[in-house]
């Protein structure tokens, strides 16, 4: 069974991850859900759909494809870009203003990603030269 899971495509792995997470959330939160109070606007439904499909499912698929192609350590570096994408989307979609603390945080994250990717490349080159 475990061998079949290792050979599964990234899409099926992502679907399995999402389904397991939804099941856990449902089991933990079933008492606090009140279906009668679920009144949302059309925009809210589209946003929720984007979070489920775009942010979760497609994100997992792309992450798993990245792990297959460039390795887990290199792929995990780019997870740090999530707050940058989120901040830019909030500016574009919700007219949020860029503040100095936000800009400093974005610069810090970009610097961290840049330094981590440089050190990973140096280590990879060193391994190739020692062979």
Q: How far apart are CA 62 and CA 70, in angstroms?
A: 12
Q: What is the pTM of this model?
A: 0.49
Average pLDDT, the chain: 74
**DSSP 3-state of 107:** helix
Using only C-alpha atoms, the chain has a radius of gyration, in whole angstroms, of 19
Query: What pLDDT score was predicted for residue 74?
Result: 75
Which one has a higher pLDDT value, 29 or 114? 114
User: pLDDT tens digits, residue range 46-71?
Assistant: 887 887 787 777 877 888 888 888 88
Which pLDDT band holds residue 88 (cuts at 50, 70, 90)?
confident
More confident residue, 69 or 7: 69
Residue 68's pLDDT is 86
Distance CA 82, CA 9 (A): 24
- What pLDDT is attached to residue 130? 65
pLDDT for 102: 86
Count Cβ atoms within 10 A of the Cβ of residue 90 and give its class: 0-12 exposed, 13-18 middle, 19 or more buried.
middle
Structure-block tokens of residue 65: 């494809």
pLDDT at 24: 65
pLDDT-based confidence at residue 36 (cuts at 50, 70, 90): low
Tokens of 114: 């840049």
């Amino acid at each position: 069974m475990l061998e079949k899971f290792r050979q599964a495509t990234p899409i099926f792995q992502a679907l399995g991850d999402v389904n397991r997470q939804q099941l856990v959330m449902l089991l933990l939160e079933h008492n606090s859900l009140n279906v009668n109070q679920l009144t949302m606007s059309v925009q809210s439904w589209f946003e929720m759909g984007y979070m489920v499909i775009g942010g979760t499912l497609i994100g997992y698929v792309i992450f798993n494809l990245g792990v297959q192609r460039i390795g887990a350590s290199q792929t995990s570096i780019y997870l740090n870009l999530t707050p940058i994408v989120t901040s830019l989307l909030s500016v574009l979609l919700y007219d949020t203003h860029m503040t100095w603390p936000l800009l400093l945080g974005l610069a810090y994250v970009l610097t961290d990603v840049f330094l981590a990717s440089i050190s990973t490349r140096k280590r990879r080159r060193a391994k190739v030269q020692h062979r």
